[in-house]
Structure 1
Amino acid sequence: MLDIKNFTKVTLEKLKKINTGDQLELLTYKKDRKIIITKTDYSKFHIIEDGFEYNEFRNIDIKNLEKILKKLKKLEFPRSNKFFLKIINKKDSNEQISFKLI
């Protein structure tokens, strides 16, 4: 569980470190709402908002990603103090999926 004050900062740091094809899942404490961010290219991302509303954003660059994250934080995590961050690593060779909950 991470503090909501560091929502954008931590998310952007983790996205820079993951490989292409990997995903980040940002979940509320109750895990009823989530934001899934997939790294499609070195600087392009695919965002799925699955909670209060369902939206998809494709081919988002880093500058727009930060703006969208701030808006989604207010919409999907309005009264949250903590959030979960899950890293999902996709391995192409065996189609195995592993994840790490932070």
Structure 2
Amino acid sequence: MVYTMLDKATLLPDLLRRLDKLPQGHALDLRTYKRNRSVLIRRIGADAFDVTEDGFQKERFQVPFSGLKKLLKVLFKREFPRSTKIRLYALGAADGDDLPTGRKVI
């Protein structure tokens, strides 16, 4: 699992570039600094993504790459309203049951 901190101002273009290159079955986990809210993005097909929101609201979306930018803008405003830095975890190949849930323990 690879971890980086990204500035919220440059997060969306950088994230879309990473998601475009993401292999099928791999996932990215975006969390606040306190790790209490997250947005999990997993590639499930050539042009399909499974987005799980776990924070103020708990929802699950399945969208194509073309609809990802609009959805992520809405989710970032809702889940990371005052954050300036976002934690990005590259989870690698993970099945739906293997993905982390809840607060990450150090």
Pairwise same-fold verdict (TM > 0.5): yes
**What range is the shorter-chain TM-score in?**
0.7 to 0.9
| Structure 1 gaps, min length 5 | 98-102
User: Shift of the alpha carbon at 1:88?
Assistant: 0.9
| Structure 2 gaps, min length 5 | 100-106
- TM score, norm. by length of structure 2: 0.81
Determine whether 1:48 maps to 2:42.
no
Determine whether 1:9 maps to 2:10.
no
- Secondary structure of 1:40's partner? strand
Aligned residue in 1 for 2:92: 89
User: Shift of the alpha carbon at 1:67?
Assistant: 0.3
- TM score, norm. by length of structure 1: 0.84
Q: Which has the higher contact order (CA 8 A, sep 6+)?
A: 2
Q: CA RMSD in A?
A: 1.8
Percent of residue pairs bearing the same amino acid type: 37
Do the aligned residues in 1 keep the contact of 2:56 with 2:79 (CA within 8 Å)? Answer: yes
Q: CA, structure 1 residues 52+19, in 2 after alignment: closer, same or farther (shift >3 Å)?
A: same
Q: Which runs of 4+ in 1 moved over 2 A?
A: none
Give a deviation string over 1:13-55, Cα, whole Å, max 9, x none: 1111221000000111111000000101121100000011000
- Aligned AA (2:29): E
- State how far apart, in whole Å, the 1-side matches of 2:54 and 2:87 are: 15
